[in-house]
Amino acid sequence: MTRAETAYHGEKGEYFAANATDSAYNAYTDRPAMLGLAGNVAGLRVLDVGCGAGHYAAELRGRGAAAVVGVEGSETLLRAAHERLGDGAELHHHDLERPLTFLRDGSFDLVVMALVYHHIDARDQLLLELRRVLRPGGALVVSTTHPASDWTSFGGSYFADERVELPIGNEFTIRYWRMTLEKFLGELLGAGFVLQQLVEPRATEEAREIDPRRYEKTHAKPSFLAVRMRRP
């Protein structure tokens, strides 16, 4: 299997595995919002797409999910997920730019895709695959970078549809697609999903003590956008 360009490998993967544990953005902004949108997962079969170091999978199992299956393109992050989850989840190393042929039709009640969507080139293909593996009435919960945040960060036209590079920490950059709200929702709706809920996550009160600057920032400027979609 070739390396997935959409995944974080090596030292970058190690950085993100560590950072996702307690950062104001990951642990106290995106993750609480996504778990809130997921709702009651007790007894559900859940697919975690781009599962990273297993933080969301661990929370989902802790909240009573009957089974959690994680898919991740980075071997570095997958090792961290194995360490975190042990036998608590079924994990697959797979490039998300390729179809999920190893997953059965209608085999999941819920799909969680946290801060992954904007990295993917083959988004139409991925959405059709997620619709396929969800049972009718199942839910897809997705978070992405906020279009307004990207506009203020990168400038130019709000309607730009382009890959951008964002410095992270002192050593790394990440490349992803900036897209408008219209494009983000349009792709999800075009794949046959129905919008149930949309939120613009802000950091929880716990983040105020851990990182007051970033806490205040998330309450003044949106960072992420998250939605819950239903498969008819």
Domain ranges of the chain: 10-230
Instruction: Read off the pLDDT of residues 100-123 as tens digits, 9 standing for 90 and up.
Output: 999 999 999 999 999 999 999 999
- Crossing angle, helix 55-62 and helix 75-85, to 10 degrees? 30
CATH number attached to the domain at 10-230: 3.40.50.150
Please provide the average confidence, as pLDDT, over all residues in the chain: 94
At what angle are helices 55-62 and 31-38 packed, to 10 degrees? 40
- Range list of H helices, the chain: 10-22, 31-38, 55-62, 75-85, 123-133, 147-154, 181-190, 206-210, 212-220
pLDDT tens, position by position, 19-68: 899 999 999 999 999 999 999 999 999 999 999 999 999 999 999 999 99
With bands split at pLDDT 50, 70 and 90, how would you rate the model's confidence at 5? low
- Rounded CA gap, 108 and 216, in Å? 37
Do residues 169 and 194 touch, judged by C-beta distance below 8 A?
Answer: no
Which residues lie closer than 8 Å to 194 by C-beta, 6 or more apart?
A: 229, 230, 231, 232
d(CA 42, CA 64) in angstroms, rounded, equals 4
Q: Which amino acid is at 207?
A: A
What is the pLDDT averaged over residues 199-203?
97
pLDDT greater than 50 at residue 69: yes
